[in-house]
Amino acid sequence: MVNVLNAGKGLYIENPDLGYAHSGTLLYQMLGATYLGDGNSYTTGNVQSVTGQPGTFVAGMNYNYMFQQIPDNYVDYIGSNGGTILFRSQENYGRVICYGGPSNSYRSIYSTFNLGALRNGANTKLQLVTKYMEYLLQTVVVEDSKESILSGFSLCPNPASLRVKCELTLKNRQNVKIKVYDSAGRLIHTIADGILNEGKNEFIWNRTDDAGKVVSSGTYIVIIETENKRLTKTITIMK
């Protein structure tokens, strides 16, 4: 996992006891967290609900948790050691943190509770996974002070049940990558990867993965990378 972060990639890790068992490791230091405590057994309980913190990319997202059930066993609570607390539980304990490293050279999200044990409500777990993936799949880029060389990027129709048209307009000829990921962050399909010409470029994604199999219904993340910009859009596939 340390090698993943050192390579400048994104890492999501969830473990209720990571701090208790590994707070002195290099990996833990790279997560930008401080271990504050081990929590209680599930019979006493730890997490009833969690709230996305103001000023973060999960602000306003709220979930109930499987309180006093097996996933609620000895859930660590954490503070910041450079990172940003994303979620706090009902007693204001830090439970999830994100960090980009001291040089903003990678992306990590560390959760002390199990995402799967959240309860869907006004916000769904899929919405949260999408937020997480948008953050983790970001690339640290320095954009030109000049106007962006990408002037338009669209996916239609959205939702889609047959084909998806991906359209982008470039201000000059350049290398472009367009890739589709599922909600778990797995690469599903590469729409484009190469030099594209100035002006309008259109591609059709027929809802298949790179093996030619039609993907299942759900929400997918489409990421486009140019030489000075990275954009993320979501698209819903329905059968």
pLDDT of residue 162 exceeding 50, the answer is yes
**Cα-based torsion angle of the residue sequence 177, 178, 181, 186 in order, rounded to the nearest 10 degrees:** -20
d(CA 80, CA 68): 26
Token duo for residue 103: 């040089």
Spatial contact of 69 and 120, defined as CB atoms under 8 Å apart: no
d(CA 138, CA 108): 11
Domain definitions of the chain by residue range:
2-136, 150-237
pLDDT of residue 226 exceeding 70, the answer is yes
User: Hey, what CATH topology would domain 150-237 get?
Assistant: Immunoglobulin-like (2.60.40)
SS3 146: coil
pLDDT of residue 94 exceeding 50, the answer is yes
What percent of the chain is helix, strand and coil (3-state, nearest 5)?
A: 15, 40, 45
d(CA 124, CA 207): 24
pLDDT of residue 78 exceeding 90, the answer is yes
